[in-house]
């Protein structure tokens, strides 16, 4: 049977067909849908882990137990999981183990565009790079065979275009794979220095054999056409190269990109007149090929920044410029992402934006949009969890140097579980005074509503133990904890004012469900979501002061004659603008 | 039968572009084409631009369409048409929804919604314009404007050999099938 699948759906299908029985991940664009789709196969135990390190460790444990297992994450997630990654390369596996990294060239939804192919070489783990959905499925299956044959974990590297593009995939049946026997093996699985030294030697031997495999496998294949131009390429860049050069060049298409097939590369290079390396981001292939003494043209023409596409290849390598219809830039206004109408984060950031002499250290999630105009209530955003720890560092630096700045760290519920807790422990243990605000919107918002330890449901849809954030904070030793409704500006302001005064660790938890969340009935009841009335502007009372525009709600617009206008299809009745209006011109419809 | 084609759908999060392109690509797949479809979401749910690109033919390599390469652009929102117009072939077609969704810089008064976009584009190329939101409202549900646009696209490209009503039945929830088929046929009419 043939189906149109995204790369992410295809990886999930590949895991299913390969007989995987355990999968763990932390959501992150563009990787999220892998586990969401794995969860549809009831034969596989699947879970959201609190972070990527935990996800990989769960998969490692399952592999040692003898099961084929999978961990999936976005590129920066591998940084979090790097610690176990480098050592599991040494220990090897029992059941096949595949780590999927979904890179984001062009940063569609990420804070950097690191090229995780470098991890394969750095961590010494074999890497496969599919170039479309069909290969995403096939390569996933092959990865398990290689993993078990060579006793190594495998890095399956995707990019946004592979993850989120659909292509035709031929579906096959699931292979029935029995769990392997677990045999206690201390020298293999206990990475002490003494064992590690031996394991490293073994790993280098495995890599030699894997290079031989790389030279012989059909994952690395030559397509002969015109030999005037030869192109070495991998991943989606192969598709772009084919699009541009068609039959006018020969290709060495690499699907197994660590260790590289050096013999195959040499042979190919010898037979073509001019050699291009076409790859996205870093000169990963190019550097290795050049180190072999082979002349190639690559990054001196093809940019190492941003996403690649056929246009760039045609322009840089062939000097082609397509005729286009001219776009009038004056008639295009930017459309930056923004907090939704009714977003529970809006009230908090509105109140924070009014405070003077405060610094707000931010984190990764929808609330990073608190840095955008008109609120602009955020000073930093580095990586997941950094809000609290960087906030503590900022605060200590100010304190030690006699500067009076109050630091607020803002972090989401899912992100707090991911890596915020350790930062909070640091503040309490080391007597910091930065205030932590946990924006608990009852779901993992930005990635499209995945459950997390605080929501009470698992990925597989089961009701589960709900981790209580207040109790965690109490257990850590935070004495000042306030749980507030962030849509109530008075309440929000009062909590922030209190934190300004307190010279000890304080946590404010803003608790209100994400406006896009499909809340279960008990939540709809608890928060009174069903009977909220939307807002409208009483045009007679509106003084056109534009105060309501300062909350940056996409449902409010302004007309120089009529004044403020609320879009009744977008408003959900959160009442933040109503509380901001100094003239009571914003009222509830029907009241 | 058209041999190959590059279709670009552009608009704003929440307008139903993803569903329209799902129906489109399923129809092309079942007609025997190689199909690739690329979507950019990520932060789109938070009010950003949304694009999906559908390519079909005997064999498709790149999942994305280059500048000056789209046979047709279907713009669900006016300003998005201008944002993506350089992706259209100089002799390509533009289906444009006469519908405005102001972005945040416009809402907060930093910028104004650009005037006369359709006029300017009509001056440059062959444009099919319609008020899909109004049409959808008349039919009985504003949310069907995506299917009105899809009907328009199918007619403009002459992809008439595919049983689109069947695809709508496969991909739309039961109780919404009839209204969406109505929307689809209305869209086809408007493109004639």
- For residue B18, the chain A residues in CB contact (below 8 A) are none
Q: Per the domain annotation, does A104 fall within a domain?
A: yes
- SS3 call for A405: coil
Write out the DSSP string of A62-104: HHHHT--EEEEEEHHHHHHTHHHHHHHHHH--SS-EEEEEEE-
Q: Per the domain annotation, does A110 fall within a domain?
A: yes
- Count how many domains chain B has: 1
CB of A587 within 8 A of CB of A578? yes
- Do A331 and B48 lie within an 8 Å CB cutoff? no
Q: What is the pLDDT of residues A205-257, one digit of tens each?
A: 999 999 999 999 999 999 999 999 999 999 999 999 999 999 999 999 999 99
Phi and psi angles of residue A203, each rounded to the nearest 5 degrees, phi first: -60, -45
ipTM value of the model?
A: 0.94
Mean pLDDT of chain A: 97
A420 and A359 housed in the same domain: yes
A310 and A233 housed in the same domain: yes
A102 and A156 housed in the same domain: yes
- For residue B87, the chain A residues in CB contact (below 8 A) are 324
Answer whether A350 touches B (CB < 8 Å): no
B54: which strand partners?
B7, B37
The confidence score (pLDDT) of residue B188 equals 96
Q: Per the domain annotation, does A335 fall within a domain?
A: no
Write out the DSSP string of B127-183: EEEE-HHHHHHHHT-GGGHHHHHHHHHHHHHT-TTS-HHHHHHHHS-GGGHHHHHHH
A144 and A244 housed in the same domain: no
- For residue A239, the chain B residues in CB contact (below 8 A) are 61-63
- Count how many domains chain A has: 4
Final residue of a domain: which of A506, A527, A548? A527
A166 and A32 housed in the same domain: yes
- SS3 call for A302: coil
Q: Per the domain annotation, does A252 fall within a domain?
A: yes
Cα A84 to chain centroid distance, Å, stands at 19
Q: On the CB side of B112, how many CA atoms lie within 13 Å of its CA?
A: 7
CB of B52 within 8 A of CB of B39? yes
Name the pLDDT band for B1 (thresholds 50, 70, 90).
Answer: very low
Nearest CA in chain A to B125: A325
Q: Per the domain annotation, does A580 fall within a domain?
A: yes
A209 and A281 housed in the same domain: no
A260 and A397 housed in the same domain: no
Answer whether B127 touches A (CB < 8 Å): no
CB of A60 within 8 A of CB of A90? no
Distance CA B73, CA B180 (A): 21
For helices A262-271 and A193-216, angle between their N-to-C axes, nearest 10 degrees: 30
A211 and A226 housed in the same domain: no
Distance CA A331, CA B75 (A): 15
Q: Pick the closest to residue A117 from A103, A131, A135 (CA basis).
A: A103
- SS3 call for A576: helix
A282 and A385 housed in the same domain: no
Q: Which of B29, B47, B133 to mutate to probe the A interface, most A CBs <10 Å?
A: B47
Distance CA A558, CA A546 (A): 8
Answer whether A374 touches B (CB < 8 Å): yes
Structural domain for B185, as ranges = 4-190
Contacts of A544 by beta carbon, 8 Å cutoff, 6+ apart: A558, A560, A563, A564
Distance CA B76, CA B136 (A): 13
A123 and A24 housed in the same domain: yes
| Å between A291 CA and nearest CA of chain B | 30
Answer whether B4 touches A (CB < 8 Å): no
Q: Per the domain annotation, does A94 fall within a domain?
A: yes
| Å between B131 CA and nearest CA of chain A | 18
A68 and A94 housed in the same domain: yes
The confidence score (pLDDT) of residue A331 equals 94
Q: Pick the closest to residue A413 from A514, A481, A487, A490 (CA basis).
A: A514
Write out the DSSP string of chain B: ----EEEEEEEETTSSHHHHHHHHHHHHHHTT-EEEEEEE-SSGGGT-EEEEEEEEESS---SSPPTT-EEEEEESSHHHHHHHGGGEEEEEEEEEE------HHHHTTSS-PPS-HHHHHHHHS-EEEE-HHHHHHHHT-GGGHHHHHHHHHHHHHT-TTS-HHHHHHHHS-GGGHHHHHHHHHHHHHHH-
CB of A90 within 8 A of CB of A196? yes
Torsion-angle region of A442 (φ positive above 0: left; ψ -120 to 50: alpha; else: beta): left
CB of B176 within 8 A of CB of B184? no
The confidence score (pLDDT) of residue B45 equals 61
Distance CA A67, CA B12 (A): 44
List, as ranges, residues 520-559 from A with C-beta within 8 Å of B. Answer: 546, 549, 552-554, 556-558
- For residue B116, the chain A residues in CB contact (below 8 A) are 331
| Å between B108 CA and nearest CA of chain A | 6
- Do A552 and B34 lie within an 8 Å CB cutoff? no
Distance CA A60, CA A69 (A): 8
The confidence score (pLDDT) of residue A267 equals 98
The confidence score (pLDDT) of residue B110 equals 86
Nearest CA in chain A to B107: A557
Distance CA A546, CA A564 (A): 7
Which CATH number belongs to the domain containing residue A543 in this structure? 3.30.70.20
- For residue A335, the chain B residues in CB contact (below 8 A) are 12, 47-49, 79-80, 83, 103-104
- For residue B40, the chain A residues in CB contact (below 8 A) are 108, 160, 164
In total, the C-beta contacts within 8 angstroms joining chain A to chain B are 169
Q: Find where tokens 């405060």 sit.
A: A358
Q: Please name the member of B46, B48, B49 whose beta carbon is closest to the beta carbon of A366.
A: B46
Answer whether A247 touches B (CB < 8 Å): no
Is residue A163 annotated as involved in ligand binding? no
CB of A26 within 8 A of CB of A15? no
Q: Please name the member of A2, A4, A309 whose beta carbon is closest to the beta carbon of B66.
A: A309
- Do B90 and A323 lie within an 8 Å CB cutoff? yes
| Å between B58 CA and nearest CA of chain A | 12
Nearest CA in chain B to A548: B108
List, as ranges, residues 6-65 from B with C-beta within 8 Å of A. Answer: 12, 25-26, 29, 34-49, 60-64
Helix residue spans in A217-276 (DSSP H) = 235-245, 262-271
Q: Per the domain annotation, does A326 fall within a domain?
A: no
The confidence score (pLDDT) of residue A537 equals 97
Which CATH number belongs to the domain containing residue B153 in this structure? 3.40.920.10
Final residue of a domain: which of A283, A318, A353? A318
Nearest CA in chain A to B123: A325
How does DSSP classify residue A344?
Answer: T
B114: which strand partners?
none
Q: What is the pLDDT of residues B135-164, one digit of tens each?
A: 999 999 999 999 999 999 999 999 999 999
- What average pLDDT does the segment B107-117 reach? 91
A409 and A303 housed in the same domain: no
Answer whether A161 touches B (CB < 8 Å): yes
The confidence score (pLDDT) of residue B44 equals 54
Q: Please name the member of A29, A332, A556 whose beta carbon is closest to the beta carbon of B107.
A: A556
Q: On the CB side of A363, how many CA atoms lie within 13 Å of its CA?
A: 28
Is residue A581 annotated as involved in ligand binding? yes
What are the distances in angstroms from CA A164 to CA A71, A152, A247, B116? Answer: 18, 28, 27, 34
Final residue of a domain: which of A182, A216, A250? A216
Q: Pick the closest to residue A51 from A19, A73, A29 (CA basis).
A: A73
Q: Pick the closest to residue A297 from A313, A320, A310 (CA basis).
A: A313
Nearest CA in chain A to B83: A332
Q: Please name the member of A310, A366, A372 whose beta carbon is closest to the beta carbon of B62.
A: A310
Q: Per the domain annotation, does A243 fall within a domain?
A: yes
**Intervals of chain A under pLDDT 50:** none
The CB-based long-range contact list for A361-364 (8 Å cut-off, 24+ gap) reads A361/A386, A361/A387, A361/A388, A361/A390, A361/A391, A361/A394, A361/A407, A361/A408, A361/A409, A361/A410, A361/A434, A362/A387, A362/A409, A362/A410, A363/A387, A363/A409, A363/A410, A363/A411, A363/A412, A363/A415, A363/A420, A364/A111, A364/A415, A364/A446
Which CATH number belongs to the domain containing residue A390 in this structure? 3.40.50.970
For the cut 70, the answer to whether the pLDDT of residue B113 exceeds it is yes
Name the pLDDT band for B42 (thresholds 50, 70, 90).
Answer: low
B128: which strand partners?
B95
The confidence score (pLDDT) of residue A181 equals 98
- Do A336 and B105 lie within an 8 Å CB cutoff? yes
Q: Please name the member of B43, B69, B87 whose beta carbon is closest to the beta carbon of A337.
A: B43
Q: Which of B64, B92, B114 to mutate to probe the A interface, most A CBs <10 Å?
A: B64
Structural domain for A128, as ranges = 2-216
């Amino acid at each position: 049977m043939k189906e149109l699948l995204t790369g992410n759906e295809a990886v999930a299908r590949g895991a299913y067909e390969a007989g995987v029985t355990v999968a763990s991940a932390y959501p992150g664009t563009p990787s999220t849908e892998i586990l969401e789709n794995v969860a549809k196969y009831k034969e596989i135990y699947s879970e959201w882990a609190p972070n990527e390190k935990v996800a990989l460790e769960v998969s490692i444990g399952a592999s040692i137990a003898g099961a084929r297992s999978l961990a999936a994450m976005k590129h920066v997630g591998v940084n979090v999981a790097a610690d176990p990654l480098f050592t599991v390369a040494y220990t090897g596996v029992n059941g096949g183990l595949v780590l999927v990294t979904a890179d984001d060239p062009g940063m569609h939804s990420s804070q950097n565009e690191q090229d995780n192919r470098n991890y394969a070489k750095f961590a010494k783990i074999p890497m496969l790079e599919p170039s479309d959905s069909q290969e995403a499925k096939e390569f996933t299956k092959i990865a398990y065979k290689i993993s078990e044959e060579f006793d190594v974990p495998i890095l399956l590297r995707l990019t946004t275009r592979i993850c989120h593009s659909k292509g035709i995939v031929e579906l096959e049946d699931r292979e029935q794979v029995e769990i392997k026997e677990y045999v206690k093996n201390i020298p293999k699985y206990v990475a002490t220095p003494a064992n590690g030294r031996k394991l490293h030697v073994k790993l280098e031997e495995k890599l030699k054999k894997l290079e031989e495999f790389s030279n012989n496998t059909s994952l690395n294949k030559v397509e002969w056409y015109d030999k005037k131009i030869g192109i070495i390429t991998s991943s989606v860049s192969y598709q772009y190269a084919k699009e541009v050069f068609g039959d006018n060049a020969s290709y060495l298409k690499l699907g197994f990109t660590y260790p590289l097939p050096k013999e195959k590369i040499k042979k190919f290079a010898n037979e073509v007149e001019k050699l291009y390396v076409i790859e996205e981001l870093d000169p990963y292939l190019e550097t290795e090929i050049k180190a072999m003494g082979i002349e190639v043209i690559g990054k001196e023409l093809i940019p190492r920044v941003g996403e690649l596409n056929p246009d760039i290849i045609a322009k840089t390598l062939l000097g082609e410029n397509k005729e286009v219809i001219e776009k009038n830039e004056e008639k295009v206004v930017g459309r930056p992402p923004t907090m939704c109408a009714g977003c529970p984060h809006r009230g908090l950031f509105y109140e924070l934006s009014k405070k003077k002499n405060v610094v707000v250290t931010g984190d990764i999630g929808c609330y990073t949009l608190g840095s955008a105009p008109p609120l602009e209530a955020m000073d930093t955003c580095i990586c997941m969890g950094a809000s609290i720890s960087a906030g503590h560092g900022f605060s200590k630096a100010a304190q030690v140097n006699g500067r009076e700045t109050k630091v607020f760290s803002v972090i989401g519920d899912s992100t707090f579980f991911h890596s915020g807790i350790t930062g909070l422990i640091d503040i309490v243990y080391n007597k910091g005074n930065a205030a932590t605000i946990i924006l608990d919107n009852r779901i993992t918002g930005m990635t499209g509503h995945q459950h997390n330890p605080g929501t009470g449901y698992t990925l597989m849809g089961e009701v589960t133990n709900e981790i209580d954030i207040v109790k965690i904070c109490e257990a850590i030793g935070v004495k000042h904890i306030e749980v507030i409704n962030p849509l109530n500006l008075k309440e929000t302001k009062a909590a922030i004012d209190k934190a300004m005064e307190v010279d000890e660790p304080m946590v404010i938890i803003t608790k209100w469900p994400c406006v896009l969340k499909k809340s279960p009935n008990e939540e709809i009841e608890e928060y009174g979501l069903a009977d909220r009335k939307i807002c409208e502007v009483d045009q007679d009372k509106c003084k056109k002061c534009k105060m309501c525009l300062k909350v940056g709600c996409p449902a409010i617009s302004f007309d120089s004659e009529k004044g403020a206008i609320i879009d009744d299809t977008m408003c959900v009745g959160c009442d933040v603008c109503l509380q901001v209006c100094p003239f009571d011109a914003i009222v509830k419809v029907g009241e | 039968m058209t041999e190959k084609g590059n279709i670009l759908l552009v608009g704003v999060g929440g307008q139903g572009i993803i569903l329209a392109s799902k129906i489109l690509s399923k129809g092309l797949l079942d007609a025997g084409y190689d199909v690739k479809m690329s979507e950019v979401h990520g932060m789109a749910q938070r009010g950003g631009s949304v694009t999906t690109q559908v390519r079909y033919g005997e064999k498709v390599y790149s999942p994305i369409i280059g500048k000056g390469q789209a046979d047709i652009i279907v713009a669900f929102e006016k300003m998005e048409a201008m944002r993506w117009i350089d992706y259209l072939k100089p002799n390509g077609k533009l289906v444009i929804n006469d519908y405005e969704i102001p972005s945040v810089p416009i809402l907060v008064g930093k910028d104004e919604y650009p005037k006369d976009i359709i006029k300017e584009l009509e001056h440059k190329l062959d444009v099919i314009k319609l008020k899909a939101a109004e049409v959808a409202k008349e039919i009985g549900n504003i949310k069907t404007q995506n299917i009105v646009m899809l009907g328009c696209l199918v007619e403009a490209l002459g992809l008439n050999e595919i049983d689109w009503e069947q695809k709508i039945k496969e991909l739309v929830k039961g109780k919404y099938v009839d209204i969406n088929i109505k929307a689809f046929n209305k869209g086809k009419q408007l493109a004639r």
